[in-house]
Amino acid sequence: MNIALFGPPGAGKGTQAKELSKYYNIPHISTGDILRANVRDGTELGLKAKQYMDKGELVPDEVLIGLIRNRLTEPDCETGYLLDGYPRTIPQADALTGILSDINKPLDAVINIEVSDDELVKRLSGRRSCTCGESYHVVFNPPEKEGVCNACGAELYQRDDDKEEVIRQRLSVYNEKTKPLINYYDDAGILVNIDGTGAVDAVFADICKVMDQFK
């Protein structure tokens, strides 16, 4: 099954994708996680991306398009994929259509997780992240042991871009550059809207109802 999770920063894409990837046994491809891993490793890509990420800006399209092409042609995508955080601009979406046509794996659905701006700010300002890709919330989704990842035992950290002023900038970039993709995929007939305001488990169940159609 070939799915993209879509939604503003803090909608719960990463939280849901982690679980969905295990449940359906398809790779979770988060461009944000790939970029952060490159920042940590100090690669050339990471050094370039960091300048944009720290300001809440998008990393240039040509960088992301090359990255996603490489990732989608890896063997674990044979059985499908779950995109998280890509595409984020019209040129990225157009490039994706070309890549997916080359590998004959067109998108089955784009699942748009809807959450209000006030709730997004609360979620992002209380988020605690792990280098393994898990994310928690100090109030809404705390780890079993404070400051420690349930999945891998590593110490949790607060992302540099989860500061209030950067959060506002990310939301504004989303509204300007990414939100137009809702119409883009609605016109393509593959957009499904999901209410992302319920509890994590409730949102998961709603997404499964959609994904089950493509098993």
Give the rounded distance of the alpha carbon of 68 from its chain centre: 13
CA atoms within 13 A on the CB side of 58: 24
Closer to ligand AP5 at the Cβ: 103 or 200? Answer: 200
Span of 20-28, 30-38, 103-111, 179-187 interacting with ligand AP5 by CB under 6 A: 30-38
Question: In angstroms, what is the minimal distance from the CB of 147 to ligand AP5?
Answer: 14
Binding string, residues 66-85; x marks residues near ligand AP5 by CB under 6 A: -------------------x
159 annotated active-site: yes
Give the burial class of 83: count Cβ atoms within 10 A of its Cβ; 0-12 exposed, 13-18 middle, 19 or more buried: buried
Count other C-beta atoms under 10 Å from residue 116's C-beta: 11
Contact yes or no for 90/184 (Cβ under 8 A):
yes
Maximum distance among all alpha carbons in the chain?
A: 46
Question: In angstroms, what is the minimal distance from the CB of 91 to ligand AP5?
Answer: 10
Question: In angstroms, what is the minimal distance from the CB of 22 to ligand AP5?
Answer: 15
Please measure the distance between the N-terminal and C-terminal CA atoms of the chain and give it in whole angstroms.
6
Q: Which of 18, 88, 123, 128 is catalytic?
A: 88
Binding residue for ligand AP5 (CB under 6 A) from 3, 9, 20, 207?
A: 9
105 annotated active-site: no
Q: Which amino acid is at 91?
A: P
Q: Which of 159, 168, 177, 179 is catalytic?
A: 159
Quick one: which of 105, 108, 103, 67 has its CA closest to 88? 67
Question: In angstroms, what is the minimal distance from the CB of 54 to ligand AP5?
Answer: 8
Site for Zn ion in 113-152 (CB under 5 A): 130, 132, 134, 149, 151-152
Binding residue for ligand AP5 (CB under 6 A) from 140, 160, 190, 208?
A: 140
Our finding on whether 137 is near ligand AP5 (CB under 6 A) is yes
Number of residues that bind Zn ion (CB under 5 A): 7
Site for Zn ion in 151-170 (CB under 5 A): 151-152, 154
Distance CA 164, CA 179 (A): 21
Annotated ligand binding at 130? The verdict is: yes
Contact yes or no for 84/14 (Cβ under 8 A):
yes
Torsional class of 189: left (φ above 0), alpha (ψ -120 to 50), beta (otherwise): left
- Bind-site residues: 10-15, 31, 36, 57-59, 85-88, 92, 127, 130, 132, 135-136, 149, 152, 159, 170, 198
Contacts to Zn ion by CB under 5 A: 130, 132, 134, 149, 151-152, 154
